[in-house]
Amino acid sequence: MKEIWNLFKPKLSPVRMSMLVSVWICCLFYLLFQGGKTSVMLFAMVTLFGLYLLFGGLNGIGRTRGERQFSGGLGDWGGVLHAGDQIRVRLRLEIPGFLPLPYVIVRETLKRHSGETWSFEESLVPSMNGRGELLFQTPPLERGRYAFSDTECLTEDIFGLIEHRGSFAARGEFRVLPRTVHIARWQLLDRRNRLLGPQSVGNVSGRETNQVGGVRDYVYGDRISRIHWNATARTGEWKSKEFEYESIPKTMIVLDAFEEHYRSARQFETAVSAAASLLEYGGREGIPMGLCSLGRSVEVFEPTQGRSRMHAMMDHLVDLDPKGGGSLLASLESARTRLPRGAVLVLVTPLAGGPIMDLVRFAQTQQMSFSHIQIAETSEREGDASRQWAASLRAKGVAAYRAGSLDDLPAALEGGTR
C-alpha cells in the first residue's frame, strides 16, 4: 500500500500545489457561472494539466533498473588493472512507465577505499520503450579498491515544473594493483653474490641444476635422459639420476608504511610499486618471497611459493595506506617470531642513517642478511648524500640500492648502488 501511495502521491511543493488548486477552482467557477465552449475547454485543459502533474510518478523514474559493464583493461569482470590505467563504463538503463520523458540526467559516484570520490554526470534521451545507454571513461586510477555507489537518475515533466528522482544499485567493484616494472635480474639474489652471508645459503631448494648429485629408484614417468644406465646395469633395477637443486634463500620484503617517513603520497606509491615489482620478480623466478609491512599495524606474509600467496600479498598492497609514525626497529622486533631464520631482509624505505643501522644490527643478531632499497625523492645535494650513504653501507658488506623513481629500480638492482 505504501508503494502505491509513493507512486501516486503529489510531487508538487505546497506553494505550487496551492497555485494549481487555485487556478483549477477559478476555472471551475468560470465554467459554472459563465458557461460556454471557452469555459469548458479551459476547464478541461487545466484539469488534464493538473492530473498530469499530480500523477507524474507514473513516469517510472523511481523504478529505474540498470546494468553496468566495464571495458578496456578490465574486460568483463576479472581482468587486471594497474595504477595509471583507465576503464570505460557502459551503463544500460531501463525506465518503466508510459509517460514520456524529455531527458534523464544520470549521476554516478566512484569511491576509493581511502575515501576519495569522483562524480560523473551525463544526460540522455530515453527511447520510446524507456531504454537508454551511457558510455563514459574514468580518469587514470591510482592503486586501491574502487566501488560505484547507487546511480541517481533525475528528470522533469515536459513543463519543467516538477523534478522526479530515482536510484538503483548495479554491480560495480574492482581493484587497481600497484604499478610494477619488469626486473630482469637482481644482483642480490645471485647465488654467487658474496653479500649473501652463509646463513642465507641452502635453506630452500629451488630449481634443478645440471649437476648429478646422486641416484634414486626409477619413478614411472621419468624421462629416458634421467635414467642412470650404469647404476641400472649394476643393480639390475631401474635407477634414475638425482640432480642437485639450486640454493635459493628465503626473502622478506619489508615495506615502511609510516606516514611521517614520506615527503609525499607519490613517494609512498613509489615504495609500494617497488615492493610489488620485487614480489613479481620472485614469483617469476621461483624465489620464495614474503612481505612484511611496518605501519600502525604489522602484517607478515611468510615466504612461500604459490599463486594464492602472491594474490594475498598483492591484495594487501592494494589496500595499504601510510598511517601514523613510529620506530621501524620496534615494529620489526614485534614480528621477530614470524620472520624465518636465515632469510634475506630487503627494506624498502626513504630513510637512511641511524634507523637503518639499527635494523642492520637486528638482522645480524637474528642471523639474517640485510639489504636496503632507498626511495629517494630528493634534491641534487641530498641525492649526493644518499649515494654516499649507500656506498658506506656497501663498504660494510650490506647490499644497498637507491631509486628516485620506479623506472630507476631495474638498473639499480642489476648493477648495485646507483
Read off the pLDDT of residues 330-346 as tens digits, 9 standing for 90 and up: 988 888 888 888 888 99
> What pLDDT is recorded for position 293?
92
Over 90: is that where the pLDDT of 278 sits? yes
Residues in CB range of 201: below 8 A, 6 or more apart: 191, 247, 249
> What pLDDT is recorded for position 11?
57
> What pLDDT is recorded for position 203?
43
Over 60: is that where the pLDDT of 196 sits? no
The alpha carbon of 217 is separated from its chain's Cα centroid by a whole number of angstroms, namely 49
Question: What confidence tier does 368 reach under pLDDT thresholds 50, 70, 90?
Answer: confident
Give whichever of 10-19, 118-127, 270-279 has the largest mean pLDDT: 270-279
> What pLDDT is recorded for position 335?
87
Question: Which of the residue ranges 8-17, 122-131, 163-172, 324-333 would you say has the lowest mean pLDDT?
Answer: 8-17
> What pLDDT is recorded for position 76?
42
Q: Rounded to the nearest 10 degrees, what angle do helices 307-319 and 265-285 cross at?
A: 180
Residues in CB range of 202: below 8 A, 6 or more apart: 247
Q: Which residue has the higher pLDDT, 56 or 348?
A: 348
Residue range 162-174, pLDDT digits in tens: 777 888 888 888 8
> What pLDDT is recorded for position 279?
92
Residue range 202-226, pLDDT digits in tens: 444 455 556 666 788 888 778 888 8
Per the document, the length of the chain is 418
Find the mean pLDDT for residues 375-401. 72
Site of grid cell 650513504? 389
Question: At residue 306, what are phi and psi to the nearest 5 degrees?
Answer: 145, 145
